[in-house]
Amino acid sequence: MNNQKSFDELKDYGEKFGQLLQGLKQHDGLLQEQYSERELVLEHDKLKLYHYVPDQHIQKTEADTAQTDQVQTPVLIVYALVNRPSILDLQQGHSAIAQMLKSGLDVYLIDWGYPDASDKHLDLDYYINTQIDACVDLICDTTNIKQVSLMGICQGGVLGLCYSSLHPQRVKSLVTLVTPVDFHTEPDTLSNLVRHVDIDLMVKTMGNIPGDMLSSTFLSLRPYYLQLKKYLNLVESTAQLDEKTKERIANFILMERWIFDSPDQAGEAFREFVQGCYQQNRLIKNTLKVGGCQIDLSTLNIPVLNIYADQDHLVPPASSKALENLIPANQYQEMSVNGGHIGIFVSPKSVKAIFPAIADWLRKHS
């Protein structure tokens, strides 16, 4: 064993770690998570509906301007219940929301808020037929239109599919991003993990499902990378505390803050979603019921753009691509993006590829 080599490596690591600590101290409490200007247009229990103001200061090239005529139909973003939608506007310079606005979209966003003990009986019927419907009503009344376009992300895509099935007259077109449809594909680590869990006992014991517990579950799916390697990589990448490194540290802090900002889940909605989708795989079988009504995606006769990430460890591509077998061929289009489940919303390259393409598609189906 080379003791001197080990000592030198340890010393080098300690110096890099010291640089990292200096960078972290510079950002302590100074970072914001939301950059795009928006206005609160509806409060409905815990839910808040935001309308984003088009940013007149975004610099556009002539090529951008030629392709960014305003999309006529407003877009309502339905995010997952299990995470915060702030990921879409987390990092200045490559915000997904900013790219949507730049691409000509009229953007509304649902913020589900933080359920508390009084919300444990809220079910999928409430989230879909009451809350999403209230948002659609507000948008239609405000803009004097009859239909909106929905953009459902992850679990929010499932909610969007259900809403479109139950209220087809209210939806002009639907975009799903990293949305699970077939919950029993291989390999699907998350599905295999929860398939045999006694959800009834969990809900009976806990009421609401703690967000911290869900965060730990998601991290456990890739324990080495998500709980060790990324921190080691951060130390190695911050040896020199230059401006690029400071930006890297700031982005890392924002991502960590988002990862661990997990709302508790209303017990009844969690029970219905896990049992109906993950355990019984009812969505792809067209036997899922919401509010007593069957969700039959084969009857969905609106344009659908389905976007999946080719390196997604939470929603395998096969799980998303299964939607193709349920939607009429003349109404379905799909797009593969290089990246992971969350990376496609924060990677500058992915953001610049995805959202202009979505805008172009919506422009044709608006």
Tens digit of each residue's pLDDT, the chain (366 residues): 555 555 555 555 455 555 555 555 555 544 555 678 999 999 999 999 999 998 654 545 444 544 568 899 999 999 999 999 999 998 877 899 999 999 999 999 999 999 999 999 999 999 999 999 999 999 999 999 999 999 999 999 999 999 999 999 999 999 999 999 999 998 888 998 898 899 999 999 999 999 999 988 888 888 766 766 776 666 666 666 667 777 777 788 888 889 889 999 999 999 999 999 999 999 999 999 999 999 999 999 999 999 999 999 999 999 999 999 999 999 999 999 999 999 999 999 999 999 999 999 999 998
Q: What share of the chain is helix, strand, coil (3-state, %, to 5)?
A: 50, 15, 35
pLDDT of residue 32: 57
pLDDT of residue 241: 62
Pick the catalytic residue: 154, 162, 277, 293? 154
pLDDT of residue 30: 46
State in words which class domain 28-364 has: alpha beta
Q: 49 and 41 in contact (C-beta within 8 Å)?
A: yes
Please give the helix or strand (H or E) that residue 359 lies within, else none. helix 348-364
Q: What phi-psi label fits residue 291: left (phi over 0), alpha (psi between -120 and 50 degrees) or beta?
A: left
Instruction: Annotate 237-275 with b (16+ C-beta within 10 A) or e (fewer).
Output: ebeeeeeebeeebbbbbbbeebbeebbbbbbbbbbbbbb
pLDDT of residue 12: 55
Active site residue 162: no
Q: 306 and 354 in contact (C-beta within 8 Å)?
A: no
The strand ranges marked E within 166-240 are 171-177
pLDDT of residue 90: 87
Q: Which candidate, 244, 239, 250, places its Cα nearest to that of 12?
A: 239
- Paired tokens of 54: 């088009």
The whole-angstrom separation of Cα 214 and Cα 216 is: 5
pLDDT of residue 220: 84
DSSP 242: S
359 contact partners, CB below 8 Å, separation of at least 6: 68, 71, 100, 103, 104, 105
